[in-house]
Amino acid sequence: MRKSPAAPAAPPSLGARSLANLEAQASTARVLNLAAVARDWGQAPAWREQPLFRIRALNTALYMKQRVTTDPSAPPAITTRIFLPQAGEPPTLGGASVRVGDAEWRERLIQACGGDGPELQEDLRVIGVLNELPSFDAFLVREHLRRREVEAAGCYVPLSATELQGVQAFVINEVAQLVLLAFGKGQDPTQTAKLVGAIMSAQNDPRLEPLRRTFGLEETDFQDGIFAWKAFLHFKRALAELRVTVHTASAEIGRMVLLAPCPPVIGKYVEAGQDRIRRDLAQATTEAGQILSVYETAFRDLTEKGDPRSFRDFLIAAPSLFMGLGERMGALSHATTFWRRRFPIGMKVEATGPEACQLLSDYDMGLGEAEIEETPAAA
C-alpha cells in the first residue's frame, strides 16, 4: 500500500502518542499481542508447556508489522517491531523497542533479554520466521510456523474450528482443480483427496513430485510457490468478505461525530485524518484486488486453456507478490477489526476531540504509517 500524504502533526496539547489502546486489545493481522495472550491464557498449561518464545520477555511482548522505506523509488519493505515489557509495565508503555533488521538489533535484543543462550537463539530463529510474513494473519502464521517446524500452543494464534474449516474448504476446492488437471480426471477420488492433502500439508511430500516436474521448478521454488499460492487462495476468500466490512468501517469513520467542546485545531486534525484513512482503505482494497488478478489470470490460462506456462510463472513470482498482497490485506483486516472493537455495531460513532485524535493515532501506528520514537533497549 503506497503511503498517503503525511498526516498533520497532532495538536501539542495531546501529548505523546501512546499505544495503550493497541496493547489492551487482542491480536490483529497487524499486531501480534502476546501480552494479551498472557493475560487471557497465562494460567493454562498449554501456554506454559508449548510457548511461542522461551524467554518470558519475548513471550509477553507486542509485535507490530511496519513498513520501512530505504529507497524512495522502491516499494517499502515489511518488517517487525518488538515492544518489550519492562518492570511489570505493558510492553508498549516504558519498555524497549527493537525493529528487526536495524543495525545490531540482535545484540540489542540479547541485552534487553538479559544475555545470550540456547533458548534466546531459538527465539531469535522464531522472530526470523515471523518476520518472513507480511502480516500476522492467523491462518498464515499457523501454516508458516508448521512449515518452519515451530511448535506452539493454539492459544498464541487463535483460529476457530469454523474459520479454519472455511479457509481449508475454499483452498481445497481450487487445489483439487489443479490436481485433476495434473494427474487426470479419471483418478480415484480417494487418491485425489490424498494429493490435495499433500499440497495442504506444510511438509514436502514425494507424491507432489510429478506436479513439480510438470512446472519444471526446483524443489525450493516449488515449495515456496505452493505456500504462497495457498496464501493467495486464503486472501481471495478473505477479500470478498473484507470489501463489505471495509466499506462499512470507512463510512463510519467518515461520519464520526466530535463531541463538544472541541477546539478548531483538533477538529481540523481529525477531519484530515478521517479523509486520509478512508483513502488508504480504498487504495489498499483496490491494490489487493489487482495483485489477486495476477493469480486469477494464471489459473484461468491453466484450467481453461490448458497452458501451464502462465501458472508456472505465477508460482515463481508468487512469494514476492505474496508480500505485497499480505501487507495490504493485513492493513485492511487490522483496520476493520480495530474499528469494530472500538465501535461495536449499534454503538454511536462519537468521541471527544482527544479520544478521536488518539484513535486516529492508533490507526496510523497499527497501519505502519507513523514513526515510533525508539526507547533504547536495556537489560
**Dihedral sign, Cα of residue 203, residue 53, residue 21, residue 68:** negative
Chain-centroid distance of CA 318 in Å reads 17
- How many CB atoms are located within 10 Å of the residue 280 CB? 22
CA torsion, points 132, 135, 137, 141, in degrees to nearest 10? 10
- For residues 308 and 338, membership in a common domain is answered with yes
pLDDT at 19: 58
Residue 6 falls inside a structural domain: no
Residue 242 falls inside a structural domain: yes
CA separation for the pair 114, 353 (Å, rounded): 42
- For residues 40 and 153, membership in a common domain is answered with yes
Lowest-confidence segment of 60-64, 194-198, 261-265, 326-330 by average pLDDT: 194-198
Give all strands (DSSP E) within 210-314, no chain letters: 257-258
What's the mean per-residue pLDDT of the chain?
83
- For residues 154 and 169, membership in a common domain is answered with no
| Domain finish residue from 160, 183, 211 | 160
pLDDT at 190: 72
Most confident of 78-87, 187-196, 292-301, 364-373: 292-301
- For residues 169 and 273, membership in a common domain is answered with yes
**123 is written with which cell numbers?**
527465539
Mean pLDDT of the region 58-86: 83
Written as one string, the DSSP assignment of 318-367 is HHHHHHHHHHHHHHHHHHHHHHHHHS-TTS--EE-HHHHHHHHHHHHHHT
**110 is written with which cell numbers?**
540479547
How many domains are contained in the chain? 2
- For residues 191 and 318, membership in a common domain is answered with yes
Residues 194-210 pLDDT 10s: 777 777 776 777 888 88
pLDDT at 1 over 80: no
Q: Domain range for residue 203?
A: 162-366
Nearest Cα to Cα of residue 7 among 364, 246, 263 = 364
- For residues 328 and 197, membership in a common domain is answered with yes
- For residues 320 and 189, membership in a common domain is answered with yes
Nearest Cα to Cα of residue 153 among 142, 169, 166, 140 = 142
pLDDT at 103 over 80: yes
- For residues 148 and 38, membership in a common domain is answered with yes
Chain-centroid distance of CA 284 in Å reads 14
Mean pLDDT of the region 63-88: 79
Residue 291 falls inside a structural domain: yes
Residue 257 falls inside a structural domain: yes
Residue 67 falls inside a structural domain: yes
Lookup result for grid cell 533488521: 101
User: What pTM did the predictor assign?
Assistant: 0.81
**CB-count burial class (<10 Å; 0-12, 13-18, 19+) for 38:** buried
Residues 351-377 pLDDT 10s: 998 889 888 877 776 665 544 444 445
CA separation for the pair 172, 339 (Å, rounded): 32
Residue 127 falls inside a structural domain: yes
Lookup result for grid cell 521454488: 221
Residues 6 or more apart whose Cβ sits within 8 Å of residue 125: none
Residue 374 falls inside a structural domain: no
Phi, psi of 306 (to 5 degrees): 70, 25
Comparing 2 with 275, the larger pLDDT belongs to 275
**Alpha-carbon distances of 239 from 41, 155, 295, 299, rounded to whole Å:** 30, 25, 14, 18
| Domain finish residue from 160, 180, 203 | 160
- For residues 237 and 350, membership in a common domain is answered with yes
- For residues 224 and 313, membership in a common domain is answered with yes
Residues 299-321 pLDDT 10s: 888 888 888 889 999 999 999 99
| Domain finish residue from 160, 184, 215 | 160
Mean pLDDT of the region 10-31: 59
Percent of the chain scoring above 70 in pLDDT: 82
- For residues 82 and 185, membership in a common domain is answered with no
pLDDT at 92: 54
pLDDT at 183 over 60: yes
pLDDT at 35 over 80: yes
Mean pLDDT of the region 85-114: 80
Q: What is the DSSP letter of 156?
A: G
Residues 217-259 pLDDT 10s: 998 999 999 899 889 988 999 999 899 999 999 999 999 999 9
- For residues 194 and 110, membership in a common domain is answered with no
Residue 71 falls inside a structural domain: yes
Bridge partners of residue 79, in order along the sequence: 66
